[in-house]
Structure 1
């Protein structure tokens, strides 16, 4: 089974934790001094907030699978989307050991495909997702969005 993943970079982590805990009706599943995650079942979302390194707002989206058997087909779907593709492999990031790959949509939105193996005590590091770094790491270059506007 799959779960949508959404990550936001925030200016004030404690205020954001308080806001989203009230909005979701539950406390974070994982909370550290520089990270908070809610594993929600309704809607089925892995929602993360962490301090912004530069700009606040939407960081990236992803699809999380529950088993390793589901991971390779998801990686193949990411490759078939014909965006740039970055296989990261097994890594420690955001207090979890995961296997993951990345792609970028036509507008520069980063998407992560991953399976979490277990929680860790160390934060670890993910790939450098700054647009200028991504353009050199990914297989094909993708345009970077110039603004973060939108409506729904």
Structure 2
């Protein structure tokens, strides 16, 4: 499990150069207008979306989990707590196919718990990073856990 920090950046090349130096690693994945870093120490998934006109630099926060059972337990925990906002199954976003569980903090900050099911999906299924973070209704049972 590792924390995810997703940022909107005005220039992806400058951001990649900076964060590569800051954390001493190269991007795990790099696409047009998108990059992510899988940092071991500290355990962090840093995601960068090139969005020059974004009003906020923070896109969202998240927790990446490695197994289906843990994602299912967090789905149940958020449901029981009454803070589940959205569920996505088999969603191709950020150049990976994922199962996701979303919540929104009182200040509006979006949090996702997610599990990558395919880190290299077929290009026809890929969507742009900013588009895949659009809100959906929390009605679909994703059958986790």
Cα deviations by residue, 1:54-101 (Å, 9 ceiling, x for unpaired): 324111001111111211001122224432521112210010010112
The CA distance in 2 between the partners of 1:57 and 1:42, in whole Å, is: 23
Per the alignment, do residues 12 and 111 of structure 1 end up closer, same or farther by CA in structure 2, a change over 3 Å counting?
A: same
After TM superposition, give the deviation of residue 19 of structure 1 in Å: 0.4
Q: Can you give the 5+ residue segments of structure 2 that lack an aligned partner in the other structure?
A: 140-145
Runs (4+) off by over 6 Å? none
Query: Where does residue 39 of structure 1 map in the other structure?
Result: 38
Deviation sequence 1:6-58 (CA, Å, 0-9, x none): 10001000000000000010110111112101111111111100111632411
**Contact 2:75 2:84 survives alignment (8 Å):** no
Residue matched to 1:126: 132
* Higher RCO structure, 1 or 2 (CA under 8 Å, sep 6+): 2
Q: Report the equivalent of 1:22.
A: 21
**1:55-94 counterparts in 2 under 5 A?**
55-94=55-94
Paired residue total: 132
Structure 1 residue runs of 5 or longer lacking an equivalent are: 140-152
Residue matched to 1:144: none
Q: Is the 8 A contact 2:62 2:111 kept in 1?
A: yes
Taking the aligned partners of 1:64 and 1:88, their CA distance within structure 2 comes to 14
Match of 1:100, SS?
strand
Structure 1 residues 5, 23: closer, same or farther in 2, change over 3 A?
Answer: same
Question: Residue 48 of structure 2: SS of its match in structure 1?
Answer: strand
Paired residues of 1:37 and 1:46 also in contact (CA < 8 A): yes
TM-score by length of 1: 0.78
